């Protein structure tokens, strides 16, 4: 039976955190608004509508929410394209190995699709990851499991035979709700995952096989 790995993107496969921070600062600053590092850190793994709803309040002007989000994401893509981004330790090696050993692979992200496509291309993963699921493909963001269930459906793999790889608490919770095993990358927020490592390069050989035989 087929098996699949569903990858989160930011913070899991690549670290573009600084690009997001710079882009949010510019987009909010253009509106005469500011954000703190704490606010930014708490937003990771969420969709822009949820992020801006928290920052601007429930009575925020919908047009302003859309405008800020579009400016932020356009600036983020410019930074990725112009300054580049590299895979985090172990990411490229695992993606190639899993491809060679017959695992299906998808990126399942809360980011806008254009962002996911740019990162997918700049990272050089286009030949190995068959499916991209982004914010536009789902109605509900993590910790709802919709993004992972959609990726599993597109790959034609039963959710129980999928492994989610995440760096955020919301993503690990989404995997659990979707009936999937999980690998948490990082510290603290991912401690509820089935397997937790500081970096993907720390995963032992056979780590994925042990989760889904």
Q: What is the mean pLDDT of residues 149-167?
A: 98
Tell whether 93 and 75 lie within a shared domain. no
Based on the structure, what is the number of domains in the chain? 2
Shared domain check, 190 and 92: yes
C-alpha distances in Å from residue 115, one per residue of 152, 180, 199: 21, 25, 23
169 and 120 inside one domain: yes
Q: Tens digit of pLDDT for each residue in 164-189?
A: 999 999 999 999 999 999 999 998 77
139 and 181 share one domain: yes
Identify whether residues 106 and 47 lie together within a single domain. Answer: no
State pLDDT tens for residues 50-101. 899 999 998 889 999 999 999 999 999 999 999 999 999 999 999 999 999 9
Over residues 41-58, the pLDDT tens digits come to 888 768 888 899 999 998
Q: Specify whether 77 is located in the same domain as 36.
A: yes
Q: What is the pLDDT of residue 32?
A: 95
Write down which residue in 49, 83, 117 finishes a domain.
Answer: 83
Type and span of the H or E element at 105: strand 104-108
pLDDT in tens, 97-134: 999 999 999 999 988 899 999 999 999 999 999 899 99
Q: Are residues 68 and 113 both part of a single domain? A: no
Task: Quote the CA–CA distance of 57 and 42 in Å, as a whole number.
Answer: 15
CA distance 67 to 27: 9
Q: Compute the Cα dihedral for 131, 136, 140, 142 and give only its sign.
A: positive
- CATH code at position 46: 1.10.150
Do 158 and 202 belong together in one domain?
Answer: yes
How far are the Cα atoms of 31, 34, 59 from residue 21, in angstroms, in the given order? 16, 11, 24
- Give the domain extent around 46: 17-83
Element (H, E) at 79: helix 62-83
**Shared-domain flag, residues 31 and 10:** no
**Which one of 63, 83, 103 terminates a domain?**
83
pLDDT at 209 over 80: yes
- Are residues 158 and 179 both part of a single domain? yes
Closest by CA position to 187, among listed 174, 175, 202: 202
Q: Which of 68, 83, 98 is the last residue of a domain?
A: 83
Is the domain of 79 the same as that of 48?
Answer: yes
pTM: 0.87
103 and 90, same domain (yes or no): yes
Quick one: pLDDT at residue 42?
87
């Amino acid at each position: 039976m087929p098996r699949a790995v569903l990858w989160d993107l930011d913070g899991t496969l690549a670290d573009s955190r600084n690009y997001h921070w710079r882009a949010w600062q510019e987009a909010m600053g253009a509106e005469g608004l500011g954000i703190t590092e704490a606010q930014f850190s708490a937003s990771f793994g969420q969709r822009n509508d949820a992020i801006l709803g928290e920052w601007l309040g429930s009575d925020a002007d919908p047009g302003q929410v859309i405008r800020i989000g579009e400016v932020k994401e356009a600036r983020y893509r410019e930074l990725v394209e112009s300054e580049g981004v590299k895979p985090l330790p172990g990411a490229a090696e695992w993606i190639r190995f899993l491809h060679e050993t017959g695992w299906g692979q998808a990126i399942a992200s809360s980011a806008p699709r254009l962002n996911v496509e740019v990162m997918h291309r700049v990272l050089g993963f286009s030949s190995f990851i068959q499916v991209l699921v982004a914010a536009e493909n789902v109605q509900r963001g993590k910790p709802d499991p919709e993004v992972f269930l959609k990726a599993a459906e597109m790959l034609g793999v039963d959710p129980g035979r999928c492994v989610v790889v995440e760096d955020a608490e919301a993503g690990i919770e989404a995997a659990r709700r979707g009936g999937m095993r999980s690998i948490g990358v990082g510290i603290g927020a991912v401690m509820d995952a089935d397997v937790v490592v500081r970096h993907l390069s720390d995963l032992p050989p056979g780590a994925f096989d042990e989760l889904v035989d």
